[in-house]
Amino acid sequence: MVKVNNIETNKVELEFTIDKESFDKACNAAYKKQVGKIQIPGFRKGKAPKAMIEKMYGAGVFYEDALNDLLPDAVEAAVKEADIKVVSAPEYDIDTIDENGVVVKAKFFVYPAVELKEYKGLKAERNVKSVTATEVNEEIKRVQQRNARTIDVTDRAAKKNDTVNIDYAGSVDGVLFEGGSAQGHDLKLGSGQFIPGFEDQIIGHKIGEEFDVEVTFPEEYHAADLAGKAAVFATKINAIKYEELPKLDDEFAKDVSEFDTLAEYKADVKAKLTERNEKAADAEVNELLMEALRANLECEVPAPMVEREAENMVRDYDTRLRMQGLDLATYFKYTGQTLETLRAQFMPEAEKQVKTRLALEKIAQTEALEASEDEINEEYKKLSEAYGVEVDRVKELVDDSAIAEDIKVNKAFELVRAEAKITKKKAAKKTEAKAEGEETAEEEKPAAKKTTAKKTTKKAAEKKTEDK
């Protein structure tokens, strides 16, 4: 029989007994496992009787191994019998070991009691940012730059925006300093990669020229031994290149897209940017609704739940770093952070995630939301495709109850969104005189010739209905 004692908010103590027969059996198993390593005077190694070993080393010599073998299943059974949902590893206390068996006390943090004041009719404002002509042109410019041709220069001196390949060796008072020399370094003039004045002095020199670049390190330079000092860099230009941008015309549109004209391509870019803004507005609404849910949540969140979520975030971050060819050790080396500071950095967001999950689980319980077998199988299929693992293998790794809980939580948020009162943010009133340099979302068009014929105009886009 399991006794449940509430010792503090969200923490309980379970008291249960491991019967003597099971404990003795586990002790015998521990003896058989260890006897080969034990040397007792008068006995060959591995042949000493259990009673003799216990006499020499104490009656409890095999207790620890026996308990380590028994406790996991015993605790699981006790938790199941007590019908509690634990959220932390147990803290064990062996109360007694005697002829009646082993009395164990295990302390756990448990799932908190949750109250949610309201979750229907939450208010949020949806703000879809308009796409301006400037944004469209900037996006096209980025594509233009990605498709630029690199041209070798042989007949002129270097100028701003060229990329030069240089050798250089820096010295202060005639002595070379560490990190101040390089061979075959590519430098875009005007990029500001080097200290002020360095790039400007390369402009005007040709391939093969050798010359000195004289600069002074800034007073706030990161290397204290160089800060504020005058330096000379012996420099040689090995090569000069520049990027030639493709002309923005119909041929460009054909090369970079599925469209035949630049106008069609621009319209598609604008449509995609508009779609991006729509998705960003939806994400913002979702966050506002989740923030409202957290504000309406009444519960004391056990610290281990937040700590576990922060640990999950650390693991996810490590995975993302590895996908970029890095790892946490390298990240810590260059940022000066530690595992502890990174965990602490994630704690506020981890607490938000835990509270949101608690609120949505409460809604799923209140609304009696369920996950169908088809929905669970569909999630298994998605996981299989995402990780390139067979569905059967995914089912071995991920319990269907966890899948079902995630589905119910998602349904809970869909309900919150469907029941929410979402209004569209009103656009600011336009003044007759536009701010200097401001551009509208529509492409500028030549002024139409005046005519006496009556004309109708077509709207630039269909009017969108407001969200509820």
Residue 54 falls in which region: left (phi positive, over 0), alpha (psi -120 to 50) or beta: alpha
Is the pTM value of this prediction over 0.75?
no
pLDDT at 295: 96
Q: Which residues of 214-224 are buried (b: 16+ CB within 10 A; e: fewer)?
A: ebebeeeeeee
Average pLDDT for 75-94: 94
For residue range 205-232, list pLDDT tens digits in order.
999 999 999 999 999 888 888 999 999 9
Q: Cα separation of 23 and 26, whole Å?
A: 5
Q: Which of 133, 148, 437, 457 is nearest to 266 (CA)?
A: 133
201, two tokens: 């002095």
Q: Does domain 256-422 have CATH number 1.10.3120?
A: yes
Q: Determine what percent of the chain is predicted with pLDDT higher than 90.
A: 79
| Mean pLDDT, all residues of the chain | 89
pLDDT at 428: 58
Q: Cα separation of 202 and 197, whole Å?
A: 9
For residue range 275-328, list pLDDT tens digits in order.
999 999 999 999 999 999 999 999 999 999 999 999 999 999 999 999 888 899
Which CATH number is associated with domain 3-111? Answer: 3.30.70.1050
pLDDT at 32: 92
Average pLDDT for 435-458: 36
pLDDT at 333: 86
Q: Cα separation of 226 and 247, whole Å?
A: 45
pLDDT at 455: 33
Beta carbons within 10 angstroms of residue 52's beta carbon: 15
pLDDT at 435: 40
pLDDT above 50 for 446: no
pLDDT at 334: 83
Residue extents of the structural domains in the chain: 3-111, 149-244, 256-422
pLDDT at 429: 56
pLDDT at 226: 92
What is the greatest pairwise CA distance in the chain?
Answer: 124
For residue range 162-176, list pLDDT tens digits in order.
999 999 999 999 999
**The CATH number of 149-244 is which of 3.30.110.40, 1.10.1040.10, 3.40.50.2020, 3.10.50.40?**
3.10.50.40
pLDDT above 90 for 438: no
For residue range 32-59, list pLDDT tens digits in order.
999 988 888 888 888 889 999 989 899 8
pLDDT above 90 for 444: no
pLDDT at 1: 86
For residue range 228-238, list pLDDT tens digits in order.
999 999 999 99
For residue range 362-414, list pLDDT tens digits in order.
999 999 999 999 999 999 999 999 888 999 999 999 999 999 999 999 999 99
For residue range 103-162, list pLDDT tens digits in order.
999 999 999 999 999 999 999 999 999 999 999 999 999 999 999 999 999 999 999 999
pLDDT above 90 for 441: no
Bridge partners of 228, per DSSP, are none
Between the CA atoms of 202, 203, 209 and 214, what dihedral angle is there, to the nearest 10 degrees? -30
Average pLDDT for 188-205: 94
pLDDT at 463: 37
Bridge partners of 186, per DSSP, are 165
pLDDT above 60 for 432: no
For residue range 251-268, list pLDDT tens digits in order.
999 999 999 999 999 999
